[in-house]
Amino acid sequence: RESLLNNINILFSVSSVANAIWILTWHYEKMLLATILIIVILICLILINLRIERSKLSLKEKMFIYLPFNVYFGWLTVATIANITTFLVSTGWGGFGISEDIWTAIILIVGFLIAGLVIMRQRNIAYGLVILWSYIGIYVKHISKDGWNSEFPLVTTTVTVLIVLIIITMLYTLFVIKKKAKKETVGN
């Protein structure tokens, strides 16, 4: 296990320092620098995830290394999308004349495509649960009277469909995991 920790320690250190600086840049509204830093953090987490994925882990290591990094990776994916969006808004970007609700739907779809790829390629249910949770949060905010009170039906419809697709993707992935485990059990 020492080799796994040696493989991820520098990346984790870089991501931690970048995260500390990101907090300051976000607080002081230095959006370009905050966006660059969150992308650095995300790249570190992608590389950490790939290294962890290639390692044979015990149940304990899955619980205390694999799971926390995957949850963190999921949140950072969502945060990166939100950070990039905030940066674009802060620059006054007009979205090529496309309305905000259409851009929101596009961003949600891109987020789902990224999540679907990670969930299925890495068989990463923990990551998927984080994405699901964030999309449910977006849905609740859009239908809530304290939120946007269903003011953007395209966004509400898009996020509803994507929630269903995330659930289907995770169920399919669980089916694949179970099928592979059954095949390995029969083969032994």
Specify the pLDDT at position 1. 63
Same-domain status, 107 and 187 = yes
Please count the structural domains in the chain: 2
Same-domain status, 115 and 174 = yes
Taking only the tens place, the pLDDT of each residue in 101-150 is 999 999 999 999 999 999 999 999 999 999 999 999 999 999 999 999 99
Please give the residue range of the domain that contains residue 111: 94-188
Same-domain status, 188 and 155 = yes
DSSP H helices in 92-152: 100-122, 125-143
Whether 85 is in a domain gets the answer no
- Helix (H), strand (E), coil (C) string for 18-33: HHHHHHHHHHCCCHHH
∠ at Cα 45 (61, 74), nearest 5°?
85
Same-domain status, 39 and 1 = yes
Taking only the tens place, the pLDDT of each residue in 42-100 is 999 999 999 998 888 889 989 999 999 999 999 999 999 999 999 999 999 989 999 99
Whether 12 is in a domain gets the answer yes
Same-domain status, 186 and 104 = yes
Whether 37 is in a domain gets the answer yes
Specify the pLDDT at position 152. 94
Boundary residue ending a domain (73, 104, 119): 73
Note every long-range contact of 132-141, with CB atoms under 8 Å and residues 24 or more positions apart, other chains counting.
132/163, 132/166, 132/167, 132/170, 134/74, 134/75, 134/78, 135/108, 135/111, 135/159, 135/162, 135/163, 135/166, 136/163, 138/108, 139/163
- Asked whether residue 159 carries a pLDDT value surpassing 90, the answer given is yes
Contact (Cβ atoms closer than 8 angstroms) between residue 83 and residue 41: no
Whether 27 is in a domain gets the answer yes
Same-domain status, 63 and 104 = no
Same-domain status, 98 and 188 = yes
